[in-house]
Structure 1
Amino acid sequence: MSDDETTSEAVYGVRFGPLKPALREHVYPVTKEELIEQYGGFELEHAGGTDRLEEVLRRTEVATFREPRQVRDVILAAVGVDGTGNSVDPETVGRETGDWSRRAP
């Protein structure tokens, strides 16, 4: 599957768009502030509307991220809704099958 195809997929009802490949290509570890500085203007679409990444990350207490999956999981937990408007169960976050692994340099 190409990056163009993966960016249109929703994860628990959240569309990451071009942010997904950007996060996968980023060098980790990275701080929340570094992500906000570089990607804060990216928009995330979800059942509750649209949020900028900066707004979502500011609602979290995680200071440093070790890998893209961790960023994804924190975003999903902070947005807190799936595609039907239901709350996301924190126990199931991260179990979807999309590829969120880091890309080889």
Structure 2
Amino acid sequence: MRLNGTGELLNGHEYPATSGELIDAYGDVRIELQDGSESLGAVLARMGAETFSSPTEAYEALQSGVGHEAVGRRYYSDRDAPTVGEDGPDPVSF
């Protein structure tokens, strides 16, 4: 997943940094996702108050915090069997 240059923004920031500081600095930056976009501020706000010790830590938090629009088709897997209690499609052999 690419987050539209946010890695460079986060690399240029001084650490340690709180999520609030990053929101103040870059909160309006839009992240283009597979199915829409989201602001960097919205992603970081969803995580609550955090302190990041490095740009890598902040970037990884950003990657894990994006919404479901970042993953394409929700709940889709052509490899997993249905879970217990869930009806799924009949298996097809190619």
TM-score where L is the length of structure 2: 0.65
AA partner of residue 58 (structure 1): A
Q: Please, what is the CA RMSD of the aligned residues?
A: 2.1
Task: Give the corresponding residue for 2:10.
Answer: 23
Match of 1:71 in 2: 58
Deviation at 1:49, TM superposition (A): 1.4
Which one has the largest radius of gyration?
A: 2
Match of 1:36 among 17, 20, 23: 23
Identity of aligned residues (%): 30
SS in 1 for 2:31: strand
What's the CA shift for 1:20? Answer: 1.6
Task: Supply the AA of the counterpart residue of 1:54.
Answer: G
**Structure 1 runs of 4+ off > 3 angstroms?**
80-87
TM-score calculated relative to the size of structure 1: 0.59
- Distance of 2:73 and 2:66 partners within structure 1: 10
Aligned residues: 74
What is the SS of the residue equivalent to 1:50?
A: strand
Asked if the contact 2:35–2:72 (Cα under 8 Å) also holds between the matched residues in 1, the reply is: no
Residues 29 and 85 of structure 1: CA distance in aligned 2, closer, same or farther (over 3 Å): farther
Any stretches of 5+ residues in structure 1 without a counterpart?
A: 1-12, 88-105
Gaps of 5+ in 2: 76-94
